[in-house]
Chains A and B, each alone.
Chain A
């Protein structure tokens, strides 16, 4: 400090280079500081990475498992040429069934997921989809040995009297035995029909002819995916608005607890400080949600779940928009809840009403999942609209103007809450009691922290 005895630089010079920062600049500075402080916070980084991992795993793992599960792979040992021919036919039937199932899934994905599915579609292929590999062996003993060592899943061998029979070790897979049985039956039938003069190809066609199916009231396609995505969106909203809301409150208390707030209030208008903090957290929260959505999207397309991808692209934008509005609506109130105390220890108590405002709509909207009067109400009620309106959009239950109207309602509620919260924040910010009553904060704002001659634009 002894070095400071030299006179400061020319004051006039400094006056020329500094000017009144605009409101937007102050908000940007405050938001920027909060964001960069958060991005350097190890806890925040780790929790974000963990969240990303959870999302990507929860998208990819079940899909991969499900896909492998519905396309089982078997090895069949065969003895003799007749058994081999039957097993080869079963292998082809299984592969054909896989091709059909894939084509069917793609057709369904390509359809607009918000519209009802086709009223008429072919029944599933008769043969179950499975991958078969055929392993010719010399005799029954060899086939039994391979069964016992579990090198093969089944053996097709000629029994007494030349008829084929299937042998398993401790059990036989249903799909596998049905596949083999169908192909043996088909082989037998074809042989018999050919013997009676029927063309072999015609016989095959008759045998594999699909039976058309029709539903009077078909459910929307991808019902399960829609349901899961709806819950995922709601969960994401709850988790993010909760953690980032708490983050705003904590950062307000930190400024009070570290006493930096007095210096801040001397430098900038209190409202700009509040708006800056809220803008910073909202941007961070939105960024995290967008990142999670992108990871989910990438995960879904990697896992080949194009139905989920289409739905995400269709409703993800609306979800983000509603998230921004819904979070912004409550963000100022979170800040006010933070200002009502001076110690992190008391934060739990002052933020309790905020926690309820986030939690209750979540549970209600998760409970009400079917389109109807209740869901329509929830999609317009400002606290639950960010959760229920995106779901109605996914279900194709809302007209184009409905999300806009609902969003306006959320925005209007947000404005009212911002006005209330700003007054509480201004009234409580410089008070250092452990807990400040709402009444004190409300009345305090009339005289505190609003200097006379304040010509700031906001």
Chain B
């Protein structure tokens, strides 16, 4: 498990991270969301040791992280980059060796990854001879070549087509299933909502929300309900202690002034005829995000 404990960082007296704390649990996909300049990349760089924190701690498996532990982290920087003129397999072997693998082990890992990524026949080619999509795959392979114990990916979905998004999702899911904590940042909230287990939202260098996605959503769900009847729902306007937000024939969206009165409303509706749908409206991630990151 990775834990950030009151990490701060400023650049030229401008505070970028103001004491952020959150955890990335083993076996879970944690989405990291925030607007541009909120501090996502800085946080990830501090986790990887590319930048130093001004204060606060990064804790890995219960102890402050050191270089030996970081050597086992896998990282995909936001600014993608490998050596353009280097051969694909040589490149992966090189990074594998920098991470401490033996030559034989690094070569074996590179081959395995390339064949899984369907790039086995391109192994001997220079990186710049590959299409951008394939270069992105090699970048992923470079993050995975040493079977990392923690995976940190900065915007792994940016620039991917829908098929590649599915493949990347499967890949992250597979790593998480193997017990690896996975932290990734993204702008695509619908995507994060769909695939994440946990969520960390930061705004202006502070964590404004963190926890399991379902829990965050239900916590922020108010007393908003959707009601679908057979007949016109206009009579709801005369019911006390509720506000009708919208009525469209038999469909209505309303807000109770006291959520505990939901069952009373339901029995009242049933008295008037069949009820086809009565459900609490859980806000989408985008709504929560807009609310907390405002």
**A162 within 8 Å of B (CB atoms):** no
**B276 within 8 Å of A (CB atoms):** no
**B212 within 8 Å of A (CB atoms):** no
* Nearest CB in chain B to that of A264: its residue: B98
Q: 15 extra interchain contacts, Cβ-Cβ under 8 A, other than A5-B170, A266-B73, A268-B98?
A: A1-B118, A4-B171, A11-B179, A18-B99, A19-B100, A21-B100, A37-B85, A258-B83, A258-B84, A260-B83, A263-B75, A263-B95, A265-B50, A267-B99, A450-B52
How far is B63's CA from A453's CA once the two chains are assembled, in angstroms? 11
**B68 within 8 Å of A (CB atoms):** yes
When the two chains form their complex, are residues A8 and B175 in contact, meaning their CB atoms are under 8 A apart?
yes
* Nearest CB in chain B to that of A453: its residue: B66
How far is B146's CA from A12's CA once the two chains are assembled, in angstroms? 11
Stretch from B161-169, B193-201, B241-249, B253-261 that touches the partner: B161-169
How far is B72's CA from A451's CA once the two chains are assembled, in angstroms? 15
Residue ranges of B at the interface with A (Cβ–Cβ < 8 Å): 45, 48-54, 57, 64-68, 70-73, 75, 77, 79-86, 94-95, 97-102, 105, 112, 115-118, 137, 140, 142, 144, 146-147, 149, 163-164, 166-168, 170-171, 173-175, 177-180
Interface contacts (Cβ under 8 Å), in number, total 155
When the two chains form their complex, are residues A262 and B81 in contact, meaning their CB atoms are under 8 A apart?
yes
When the two chains form their complex, are residues A453 and B64 in contact, meaning their CB atoms are under 8 A apart?
yes
Supposing A1-B168, A11-B147, A448-B52 touch, asked if A262 and B97 sit within 8 A by C-beta, the answer is no
When the two chains form their complex, are residues A263 and B82 in contact, meaning their CB atoms are under 8 A apart?
yes
Which 3 interchain pairs have the tightest Cβ spacing?
A: A259-B81, A1-B167, A451-B49
- Nearest CB of chain A from residue B44's CB, rounded to whole Å: 10
* Nearest CB in chain A to that of B60: its residue: A453
When the two chains form their complex, are residues B167 and A267 in contact, meaning their CB atoms are under 8 A apart?
no
| Interface residues of A, count at CB 8 A | 50
Residue ranges of A at the interface with B (Cβ–Cβ < 8 Å): 1-9, 11, 13-15, 17-21, 26, 29-30, 33, 37, 40-41, 254-255, 258-269, 430, 447-456
How far is B52's CA from A438's CA once the two chains are assembled, in angstroms? 21
When the two chains form their complex, are residues B79 and A262 in contact, meaning their CB atoms are under 8 A apart?
yes
When the two chains form their complex, are residues B101 and A17 in contact, meaning their CB atoms are under 8 A apart?
yes
Among B147, B166, B178, the residue within 8 A (CB) of A2 is B166
When the two chains form their complex, are residues B53 and A1 in contact, meaning their CB atoms are under 8 A apart?
no
How far is B45's CA from A263's CA once the two chains are assembled, in angstroms? 10
How far is B180's CA from A450's CA once the two chains are assembled, in angstroms? 26
* Nearest CB in chain A to that of B118: its residue: A3
- A7: chain B residues at CB < 8 Å are 174, 177-178
Most central of A3, A4, A7 by chain B CB within 10 Å: A4
How far is B69's CA from A456's CA once the two chains are assembled, in angstroms? 12
How far is B82's CA from A37's CA once the two chains are assembled, in angstroms? 13
- A448: chain B residues at CB < 8 Å are 51-52
